[in-house]
Structure 1
Amino acid sequence: MGECNDILTELESWYRTPLGQSLYRGLQDQLEPLLETTFGYHLVQVGCSREQPLFCSSRIRHQLYIAEAPGARIGLQARADELPLESDSVDVLIAHHSLEFTEDPHAVLRELHRVLTPQGHLLLVGFNPWSLLALNHSLRAAAGNPLWRARTAVSRGRLLDWLRLLGCEAQGSDFLLPLPVASGEGRLARLARRGNHWSEAHQLPFGSLYLVHAIKQVAGRVRPLRLARTRPALMGIKVGKPAPTPTPRGGNVAACVPIPARGDAVAAATKSRDSAV
């Protein structure tokens, strides 16, 4: 827990720098239209920072901020891979660098998927490993910076594959601020803003941050079609009338030759044989 607190402190300090503030404002601007069009009862933000709430533009009333260390804005202290929340209970979930400062990012993603409601919205924010900012972070990690040495790079493509395996449907993704220059009025800052606007408009995959929007899909139970039971139709074959019983002429039934009983037939056969002898 002590190491986690150190990472939290380092990341919060980085976000307080001019460059971090510029990225934070750009991320808020990108999230605002998404949060304004998502509805539900519960919104949760999970991340490795206690000072960057990203849900201010949401209309959902119940908003919960979760982090591993206590803080003034933190409503619940918990690990991202062990959230004390019921399954299928969160309508909108914002994961701010939740997958990058953990030993098992896939386990964290499974936990986020567990607490999300069916058709719930998952918004994932991460550092793009294929950016100028990531190159700067790698150089600092090689120099011994504890924050960037603790980071696990998770690319957007890898994240989309994980979401697909979990049954989440990606609604879109964006790259933010490919030129990591702090806001200002100098010539370099103006050129960087123009370059960032052009790159974001064409969605070049070199932004400092990526934002992935996914929806949790749950396979519904398909009710099988009920086949109507129909009786097979009979073939149209006419049945003939039964043949009449032969009767003697004149209708005298008594004149018919009776069928002898078994004993009478044997006696008649013996008498006929004796006469022949």
Structure 2
Amino acid sequence: MSDRLIIDWPAWTASPAGRYVLGWEQEQLDRVVSNVFGYHALQLGLPQLDALRENRMSCRGLVLDAASAASAPYSAPGASAHPHPNGGQTMPGAGGATQDRSPAAGETSLLHAPAGRSTVWCDYLDLPFEAQSVDLIVMPHTLEFTSDPHRLLREAERVLMPEGQLLIVGFNSLSLWGARQSVGKLTGHPFLPARQDLIAFTRLKDWIKLLGFELERGRFGCYRPPLATDQWLGRYGFMEAAGDRWWPIFGAIYMVTAIKRVRGMRLVGPRKVKKPVLAASLKPAATTPSPTRNKDT
């Protein structure tokens, strides 16, 4: 896709449609991540959305790549050249990759890091974390901006601990918003800021199941038509309740929660050894005594 067909995320999230979508996503993520426990949580991309705001893990990190820096310059308030947030606490296995980025000359519209967060700059397709070291990974629209979404899912599976949770938020291709995006790409005027083609919900389910995840729940939302003004979006507010009841799978946004399952042997108790069944002892066949003959002596 050429650069002229790519909508800038910060500009789109400031639009009425963007505020509508991010408001629904923030509400759903706040509800879900508040019940996920552990030690380490990661948000991959989209710094305009604070996906881990309601999570209570001690070490939470925001992972950004070069594309995030180009589209949305990011820094921590008062950050020095290479500070360590959280009082020197770093993400597991990140080593020197954990750092905050100070704003360069001429950068504007800086996004500030939430309090108590680590910031990791890296390539999404080569996450600098140890295997089985993270309890929760949230990917808000991350798959729609990477060149290899299946490889990114494999990286997430690698760094997640057994029973760790993966939350994926994306645009639903089977919706009015997905239809408008398809038409807009043909005419050169896309409606959604997705660098790659939208990933169908059914296709995503097949991918995560293939990697050993178990789909826990799926949620759809944002049933209003893809309109560009607050006035028209407000007129179709009645479609939220109607869509959630009558056509739930056609919402503009889907959120998938999956759990990493590790198959293996499991001891359920002492092994009971069965005694071998011995063959019945052989007995001589019963014979009838032959009649004795009287012999003349």
- TM-score class normalised by the smaller sequence: 0.7 to 0.9
1:92 aligns with: 136
Aligned residues of 1:181 and 1:192 also touching (Cα < 8 A): no
Q: What's the Cα RMSD here?
A: 3.0
1:27 aligns with: 25
- Distance, in Å, in 2 between the alignment partners of 1:112 and 1:149 is 20
- Distance, in Å, in 2 between the alignment partners of 1:220 and 1:232 is 31
Aligned residues of 1:81 and 1:111 also touching (Cα < 8 A): yes
Within 5 Å, give how 1:118-267 maps onto structure 2. Answer: 118-145=162-189, 150-179=195-224, 180-181=226-227, 184=230, 186=231, 188-202=232-246, 204-223=248-267, 226=271, 228=273, 230=275
1:102 aligns with: 146
Higher relative helix content: 1
Aligned residue pairs: how many? 231
What's the offset of the Cα at 1:150?
A: 2.8
What's the offset of the Cα at 1:86?
A: 0.8
When normalised by structure 1's length, the TM-score is 0.73
2:62 aligns with: 65
- Distance, in Å, in 2 between the alignment partners of 1:89 and 1:109 is 15
Aligned residues of 1:53 and 1:65 also touching (Cα < 8 A): no
- Distance, in Å, in 2 between the alignment partners of 1:19 and 1:58 is 26
- Higher relative contact order at CA 8 Å, sep ≥6: structure 1 or structure 2? 2
Identity percentage of aligned residues: 30
What's the offset of the Cα at 1:152?
A: 2.2
1:270 aligns with: none
When normalised by structure 2's length, the TM-score is 0.68
1:248 aligns with: none
What's the offset of the Cα at 1:207?
A: 1.0
What's the offset of the Cα at 1:145?
A: 5.0
1:253 aligns with: none
Aligned residues of 1:45 and 1:64 also touching (Cα < 8 A): yes
Residues 22 and 235 of structure 1: CA distance in aligned 2, closer, same or farther (over 3 Å): closer
Gaps of 5+ in 2: 76-112, 283-297
Render the CA deviation track for 1:228-265: whole Å, top value 9, x for unaligned.
3758879789xxxxxxxxxxxxxxxxxxxxxxxxxxxx
What's the offset of the Cα at 1:16?
A: 1.6
Aligned residues of 1:90 and 1:115 also touching (Cα < 8 A): yes
What's the offset of the Cα at 1:189?
A: 3.9
Residues 150 and 229 of structure 1: CA distance in aligned 2, closer, same or farther (over 3 Å): closer
Aligned residues of 2:9 and 2:193 also touching (Cα < 8 A): no
